[in-house]
Amino acid sequence: MEPLSSFFAVSVILLGIGIYGLTTKRNAIRILFSIELIYNAANLNIIAFARLRNPPIVTGQVLVLFTIALAAMEAAVGLSIIILVSRLNADIDLSKLSKLKG
Amino acid sequence: MLTSPLFLEIVLFPGLLSIAIIGALLGWLERKVTARVQLRIGPLYASPAGGILQMFADLIKLSFKELFVPENSDAFFFIMAPTTGLVLGAALVGLIPFAPGLQIANIEVGLPAFLAIITLSPTLILLAGWSANSKFPFIGGLRALFQQTAYEIPLWLSALGVIMMAGTMNLGQIVNAQTSGWFILPQALGAFIFLVTSVAEMERLPFDLPEAESEIMMGWQAEYPGVLFLAAQGPGFVKLYAFSALFSVMFLGGFLGPSFLPPLFWMLLKTLLIIVLIMLLRSTFPRVRLDQLLRAGWTTLLTLAIINIGITYILVVGFPTL
Amino acid sequence: MTDLLFLAFAAVTVGAAILAIEARDLVYGAAALGIAFLGVAGLFFLLDAAYVGWFQIAVYIGAVVVLILFTVMLVGPKKGETPLGLKRVSLLAAMLMSLLLGMTGALANATAFPGPDSCGSGCDLSLFSTSLLKNYGVPLEFMSLVMAAAVIGALALSKTDRGQ
């Protein structure tokens, strides 16, 4: 069995990539990618901690099942917002979305 | 290592070689069955008996055609999408128990694994249709997306009835749970939904909208040349084989049968029966329209699948001796 | 064997995640995102969470990636690609944060997480499903409420008036 630190390293790297994408990219779909990557980092972490504690518990898997379903819903709503924005604005660059600034 | 049972299973049966041969034979059988229904003869010349080598002749012919990638298309996805589909189709067969012990991947969650691999195919078809950079393939890819994602939900829910009856998700244990009676009787509604949705997932008539040859000329496969066309067609037949085998495992008792013949024979016989049934559907029903298809999937089939779960719940909880 | 598999899955996940963020074409980005999800599913298999792994494949690649691809093709792949000027600072911040979290993880690993080799009842499928329905039944119901709300919201957002 791999030690926890190796799974943790993958999770942390995924989180770092997600945060990097979240802060540098301005395309709405790209930002959605980053959010999904962060979700995955969290899921991996939860599963690894639940499996590698002593004794292992199933609660981690249950929690991850919920998270995956939530992430899918978030993607569905987010993508429909993106489609709506692209219809109104012809561009999905978030820095150009300033209509609501008043 | 070369003579270890697992290696032989992967390479010979039920693995790669048998999948290739059975896929080719199914192509021949489909043309023969369709021809018989339409009072024609079908393939005749390319063999000793009834044109049985027709698909191998086609393979030789197609492999001599020029292999090109259309201009302005996305070469990477254009080639990768059908080949990945072929690999995934072969992976499906690896999950099926053909006889006690004759199974490549005996995993605890075999049924969800099968259905999860199936859900990957709309992604690949959408990418294949998009990569050709042409109108009809893209329309076909979008149709595949609508159709397959809509029919995945009733497919999973109808499989849930079997899981409830058997109390396990392992395909071998599902077969063994049917020793006292096949699931086709208590799960008749579930079997019907599963058959309809799996025909839709396989994109076969009457649900072959993504490749409707009379509307959008083979849809997402329209631009594929030579051997790549074969690679695009192949997953259809491999999926037909895998889905029929899964249907007989889930509802017809798989390899169970009278013991004067080996279990493998019963499994293959049931699979062949389902395959011929699906082929007869192809030659007897007209193609449905896209709106009919989506309405049926999201309303009728979904409702029926939920009713089926209710019926199964009553059966499992009310009559635990069954 | 597990070491090699772990290295392969980890490399695929990280590489595909970087490609998903940095690929110029959004379609390639979405496909790379799918590969990254597949890699995470592989890591789930290594952690004896096979059911969650297949669920991850079915939901993330079968639903989320296909939705993203559909949106990318609908919206047009080349839109909204002006990079922000904060690239270096963001990279530094992300790395710093990863380092910090990594140190916390290393500390946690050293003290409390030895991890037995065989999972036992911690990964039992029937225990998992009983736990899901008995201990977490109420959250499950709330989850379906949230799901219904999300579906209705998505439908309301993407509805168009054909007449106009």
Q: Where are the domains of chain C?
A: 1-78, 122-159
Confirm or reject contact between A28 and chain C (CB < 8 A): yes
Please name the member of B109, B113, B126 whose beta carbon is closest to the beta carbon of C66: B126
CB C154 within 8 A of CB A80: yes
> Is the peptide bond preceding residue B206 cis, with omega within 30 degrees of 0?
yes
Note down the domain range covering B206: 70-318
Q: How far apart are CA B235 and CA B300, in angstroms?
A: 28
Confirm or reject contact between B95 and chain C (CB < 8 A): no
Tell me, what's the pLDDT at B307?
Answer: 92
Q: Contact C66/B107, CB-based, under 8 Å?
A: no
Q: How far apart are CA A41 and CA B181, in angstroms?
A: 46
3-state secondary structure of B102: strand
Angle between helices B110-118 and B226-251 (to 10 degrees): 150
Which domains does chain A possess? Answer: 4-91 (1.10.287.3510)
On whether residue B226 sits in a domain, the answer given is yes
Confirm or reject contact between C4 and chain A (CB < 8 A): no
Beta bridge partners of A27: A93
On whether residue B255 sits in a domain, the answer given is yes
Rg (CA), chain A: 17
Looking up tokens 């004067």, which residue turns up? B260
Beta bridge partners of B102: B99
Tell me, what's the pLDDT at B225?
Answer: 80
Q: Contact A62/C59, CB-based, under 8 Å?
A: no
Query: Min CA distance, A67 vs chain C (Å)?
Result: 10
Q: Contact C73/B130, CB-based, under 8 Å?
A: yes
C64 CB neighbours in chain A (<8 A) are 36, 71-72, 75
- Please report, in tens digits, the pLDDT of each residue of chain B (322 residues total): 566 777 777 777 777 888 888 888 888 888 888 888 888 887 777 777 777 787 788 888 888 888 877 777 788 888 888 888 888 888 888 888 888 877 887 888 888 899 999 888 888 888 888 888 888 888 888 888 888 888 888 999 998 888 888 888 888 888 888 888 788 888 888 899 999 998 888 888 788 877 777 777 777 777 788 788 888 888 888 888 999 999 998 888 878 877 788 888 888 888 899 999 988 888 888 888 888 888 888 889 899 999 999 988 888 887 776 6
On whether residue B9 sits in a domain, the answer given is no
Q: What is the DSSP letter of C120?
A: G
The number of beta carbons lying within 10 Å of the beta carbon of residue B81 is 27
Instruction: State the DSSP H helix or E strand holding residue B158, giving kind and residue range, or none if neither.
Output: helix B135-166
Counting the structural domains of chain B, the total is 1
CB B205 within 8 A of CB B145: no
Q: B101-106 long-range contacts, Cβ below 8 Å, gap at least 24?
A: B102/B9, B102/B13, B102/B14, B102/B264, B103/B9, B103/B14, B103/B171, B103/B172, B104/B6, B104/B9, B104/B10, B104/B14, B104/B15, B106/B170, B106/B172
On whether residue B32 sits in a domain, the answer given is no
Which residue in C28, C38, C60, C66 has the most chain B C-beta atoms within 10 A of its own C-beta, making it the best mutation to test that interface? C66
Give every residue of chain C whose pLDDT is below 50, as ranges.
80
3-state secondary structure of A93: strand
On whether residue B236 sits in a domain, the answer given is yes
The terminus-to-terminus CA distance of chain C in angstroms comes to 62
What is the CATH class of C1-78?
Answer: mainly alpha
Q: Model confidence over C86-107: pLDDT tens digits?
A: 667 777 777 777 777 777 766 6
ipTM comes to 0.86
The number of beta carbons lying within 10 Å of the beta carbon of residue B320 is 7
C50 CB neighbours in chain B (<8 A) are 107-109, 113
Confirm or reject contact between B109 and chain C (CB < 8 A): yes
pTM confidence score: 0.86
Please name the member of A33, A56, A69 whose beta carbon is closest to the beta carbon of C33: A33
Which residue in B78, B119, B309, B316 has the most chain C C-beta atoms within 10 A of its own C-beta, making it the best mutation to test that interface? B119
Tell me, what's the pLDDT at C36?
Answer: 92
3-state secondary structure of A27: strand
Tell me, what's the pLDDT at C87?
Answer: 67
On whether residue B19 sits in a domain, the answer given is no
C54 CB neighbours in chain B (<8 A) are 109, 112-113, 116
Please name the member of C50, C61, C66 whose beta carbon is closest to the beta carbon of B108: C50
Q: Model confidence over B167-189: pLDDT tens digits?
A: 888 888 888 888 887 888 888 88
